[in-house]
Amino acid sequence: MDYSKMSPAEVRALIRTGEITTHTSGMCDGYAQANLVVLPYEDAYDFLLFTQRNPKACPILEVGDVGDKRIRTIAQNADVTTDIPKYRLYRDGVLAGEYTDVSDLWQDDFVFFLIGCSFSFESELIAADVPVRHIEEGVNVPMFITNIDCEPAGRFSGKAVVSMRPIPAGLIPRAAAVTAQMPRVHGAPIHVGDPEAIGIRDLSKPDFGDPVTFYPGELPVFWYCGVTPQSVVMNSKPRIAITHAPGHMFITDTKNISLKY
Amino acid sequence: MDYSKMSPAEVRALIRTGEITTHTSGMCDGYAQANLVVLPYEDAYDFLLFTQRNPKACPILEVGDVGDKRIRTIAQNADVTTDIPKYRLYRDGVLAGEYTDVSDLWQDDFVFFLIGCSFSFESELIAADVPVRHIEEGVNVPMFITNIDCEPAGRFSGKAVVSMRPIPAGLIPRAAAVTAQMPRVHGAPIHVGDPEAIGIRDLSKPDFGDPVTFYPGELPVFWYCGVTPQSVVMNSKPRIAITHAPGHMFITDTKNISLKY
């Protein structure tokens, strides 16, 4: 099956019935995908404030009403507990299980947060002839925990996580300009060059994802990463939390290009 | 005194000591000004969610910690209870008084929200040779309540308020392009032309502010307005709320140009 040409509604239907349980990279060309964080209402204000104070790391696409599983804005006829291929349940910050459906775990006090993902700007980079190395090499994007403190909010604080892409020096301005137009999916890079300046010791040993090849004349370019909110939430050990499993995203009905405006 | 060339810290010091109690239009050239809403914590989640769901009408610049009067991000050494020339106190949605200092009214459960203001993009429009009629005519910008429903959040719901500027038809693309670059101060226009399409009957009778002159070849251009959050908050009749008095804004240390990025 070529899922890249299917509509988000078609792919979500296959996810809902359990026919798709794989990662969603490359599915539904042109449509935005989203990170998921579900928290009980007792933690929702602090988390929402955290995202407001760290908008480049945590660009919110939609927040549900308390207890409501239905997605209303970025997709139609979608249920946040069934329409993601794989979920992770955390209790007190510790992984307590992986699920392909969390409708039985849903609670009346749960609030979902769907957060923009760099998958959206990567297709724009490729369209602008900027190479995206981890896609060329068929691996996951390399991600690093930095020494950059996020702005804390209530119980949530921690270091920012960045994704890194090697870019030919002459294309860095174009890469910055293309992504700066998409603030709802992390926006412009936050650092170019020297990794140690942001607390990264070894580009060949990412904290998450896979290492990628550098060619002569390329510099590392760093963007805030959607792993930041999950990392920060887990560090604060909430009583209960549900997230998507890495790479297993929610596919929206919202086109990447519409996130520019 | 020419306040336009003074620094925000200098003008805030004069406001704090009561030497300035007037509106802040034209003060501190190049620096952003902000709308104020203060609510008790019991209403803060719903209001923060409302701003997240209506980012063009309610672009948040800073949210305080619960009980904290100090502004930390968009200005230094600033106190939200003393550094605005005039405040309004509302009880159950009814105006209960105007004050030049609300430090005695502050409560341990209060949360402040500072929200972007179209003063920022107006200076950019003028710099781009787009006329801003109400500034030319020395009056307040005309504002209208539309038939556009904001996305509701908890106890907060209501119609969007827009500001209107007559723009020569040939300059409308430039006005849209300039303001689209500034999403933190309302961003691009939301409507051009026919006022009735968004529920406005008579451009000569604004709901807030003053009417302005139209010249031949001009069309009305509408932007979401920072009066929206105040209007919505008052409609929902919170137990207590504090806002700035219209036109009497908080002057930040943040340059307008930095709100582009």
Span B169-189, pLDDT tens digits: 999 999 999 999 888 888 999
Rounded mean pLDDT, A48-70:
95
The number of residues in chain A equals 261
Rounded mean pLDDT, A83-105:
95
In angstroms, what separates the C-alpha of A140 from chain B's closest C-alpha? 28
Instruction: Output the 3-class SS for chain B.
Output: CCHHHCCHHHHHHHHHCCCCCCCCCCCCCCEEEEEEEEEEHHHHHHHHHHHHHCCCCCCEEEECCCCCCEECCCCCCEECCCCCCCEEEEECCEEEEEECCCHHHCCCCEEEEEEECCHHHHHHHHHCCCCCHHHHCCCCCCEEEEEEECCCECCECCEEEEEEEEEEHHHHHHHHHHHHCCHHHCCCCCEECCHHHHCCCCCCCCCECCCCCCCCCEEEEEEECCHHHHHHHHHCCCCEEEEECCCCCEEEEEEHHHHHC
| Cross-chain Cβ contact A180/B261 below 8 Å | yes
| Cross-chain Cβ contact A63/B49 below 8 Å | yes
Percent of chain B with pLDDT over 90: 79
- Which amino acid, A226? G
pLDDT in tens, B215-255: 999 999 999 998 898 888 888 899 999 999 988 999 999 99
Strands A94-99 and A143-149: unpaired
In 10 A of CB A184, how many CB atoms? 22
| Cross-chain Cβ contact B188/A261 below 8 Å | yes
pLDDT at A229 over 70: yes
In 10 A of CB B211, how many CB atoms? 15
| Cross-chain Cβ contact B49/A48 below 8 Å | yes
Question: According to the model, what pLDDT value does residue A261 have?
Answer: 61
Q: Determine the Cα–Cα distance for residues B176 and B121; give it in Å rounded to an integer.
A: 11
Which residues on chain A are in Cβ contact (under 8 Å) with B73? 53, 151
Residue closest to A116 by CA, chosen among A169, A163, A176, A165: A163
User: Quick one: tokens of A261?
Assistant: 């405006």
Using the 8-state DSSP alphabet, how is residue A184 labeled? G
pLDDT in tens, A14-25: 999 999 998 898
| Cross-chain Cβ contact A63/B73 below 8 Å | no
Average the pLDDT over each of A21-25, A213-217, B12-16 and give the range with the smallest value. A21-25
pLDDT level of residue B25 (50, 70, 90 thresholds): confident
pLDDT in tens, A236-257: 899 999 999 988 999 999 998 8
| Cross-chain Cβ contact A151/B73 below 8 Å | yes
- Which amino acid, B132? V
pLDDT in tens, B127-182: 899 999 998 998 888 999 999 999 999 999 999 999 999 999 999 999 999 999 88
Q: End-to-end distance of chain A based on CA atoms, in angstroms? A: 33
Three-state DSSP class for A137? coil
Question: According to the model, what pLDDT value does residue B95 have?
Answer: 92
| Cross-chain Cβ contact A52/B48 below 8 Å | yes
Please give the residue of chain A at the shortest CA–CA distance from B183.
A261
| Cross-chain Cβ contact B44/A44 below 8 Å | no
Which residues on chain B are in Cβ contact (under 8 Å) with A61? none
**Helical (H) or strand (E) element with A90:** strand A87-91
In angstroms, what separates the C-alpha of B20 from chain A's closest C-alpha? 31
pLDDT level of residue B260 (50, 70, 90 thresholds): confident
pLDDT at A6 over 70: yes
| Cross-chain Cβ contact B261/A44 below 8 Å | no
Rounded mean pLDDT, A211-232:
94
Please give the residue of chain B at the shortest CA–CA distance from A43.
B45
| Cross-chain Cβ contact B49/A53 below 8 Å | no
pTM of the predicted model as reported, rounded to 2 decimal places: 0.88
Q: Write B91-100 long-range contacts (CB < 8 A, 24+).
A: B91/B239, B91/B240, B92/B237, B92/B238, B92/B239, B93/B234, B93/B235, B93/B236, B93/B237, B93/B238, B98/B245, B100/B18, B100/B21
Angle, helices A227-235 vs A41-53, to 10°: value is 130
Q: Is the dihedral of CA A97, A103, A109, A111 positive or negative?
A: positive
From the list B154, B180, B261, the residue facing A188 with the nearest CB is: B261
Q: Determine the Cα–Cα distance for residues B149 and B160; give it in Å rounded to an integer.
A: 6
Question: According to the model, what pLDDT value does residue B119 have?
Answer: 82
From the list A45, A151, A183, the residue facing B48 with the nearest CB is: A45
- Which amino acid, B156? F
In 10 A of CB B127, how many CB atoms? 12
**Helical (H) or strand (E) element with A115:** strand A110-116
Average pLDDT in chain A = 93
pLDDT level of residue A140 (50, 70, 90 thresholds): confident
Three-state DSSP class for A76? coil
Q: End-to-end distance of chain B based on CA atoms, in angstroms? A: 33
CA–CA distance from B101 to each of A80, B16, B27, B97 (Å)? Answer: 46, 8, 19, 11
pLDDT in tens, A66-83: 999 999 999 999 999 999
In angstroms, what separates the C-alpha of A57 from chain B's closest C-alpha? 14
Which residues on chain B are in Cβ contact (under 8 Å) with A58? none
* H helices present in chain A, as ranges: 8-16, 41-53, 119-127, 133-136, 172-180, 227-235
Which residues on chain B are in Cβ contact (under 8 Å) with A154? 65
Q: Would residue A156 be called left, alpha or beta, if left means φ above 0 and alpha means ψ between -120 and 50 degrees? A: beta
The number of residues in chain B equals 261
Please give the residue of chain B at the shortest CA–CA distance from A74.
B53
> For residues B227 and B152, is the Cβ–Cβ distance under 8 A?
no
pLDDT at B1 over 80: no
Which residues on chain A are in Cβ contact (under 8 Å) with B181? none
Q: Write B122-127 long-range contacts (CB < 8 A, 24+).
A: B123/B29, B123/B30, B123/B256, B124/B178, B124/B179, B124/B181, B124/B182, B124/B256, B125/B165, B125/B175, B125/B178, B125/B179
Please give the residue of chain B at the shortest CA–CA distance from A56.
B261
In angstroms, what separates the C-alpha of B45 from chain A's closest C-alpha? 5
Which residues on chain B are in Cβ contact (under 8 Å) with A151? 73
From the list B45, B51, B60, the residue facing A45 with the nearest CB is: B45
R_g of chain B, CA atoms, integer Å: 18
Rounded mean pLDDT, A119-135:
91
Please give the residue of chain B at the shortest CA–CA distance from A155.
B65
Q: Determine the Cα–Cα distance for residues A87 and A77; give it in Å rounded to an integer.
A: 19
pLDDT at A91 over 80: yes
Please give the torsion angle defined by the CA atoms of residues B67, B72, B77 and B83, in that order, rounded to the nearest 10 degrees. Answer: -60
- Which amino acid, A57? A
Three-state DSSP class for A108? coil
Question: According to the model, what pLDDT value does residue B183 have?
Answer: 83
**Please, which residues have CB within 8 angstroms of residue B45's CB and are 6 or more apart in sequence?**
A44, A45, A48, B154
| Cross-chain Cβ contact B73/A261 below 8 Å | no
Which residues on chain A are in Cβ contact (under 8 Å) with B51? 52
pLDDT level of residue B261 (50, 70, 90 thresholds): low
Which residues on chain B are in Cβ contact (under 8 Å) with A112? none
Rounded mean pLDDT, B32-50:
96
Using the 8-state DSSP alphabet, how is residue A153 labeled? B
Average pLDDT in chain B = 93
Using the 8-state DSSP alphabet, how is residue A156 labeled? B
User: Quick one: tokens of A233?
Assistant: 């939430």
In angstroms, what separates the C-alpha of B2 from chain A's closest C-alpha? 34
From the list A49, A60, A63, the residue facing B63 with the nearest CB is: A49
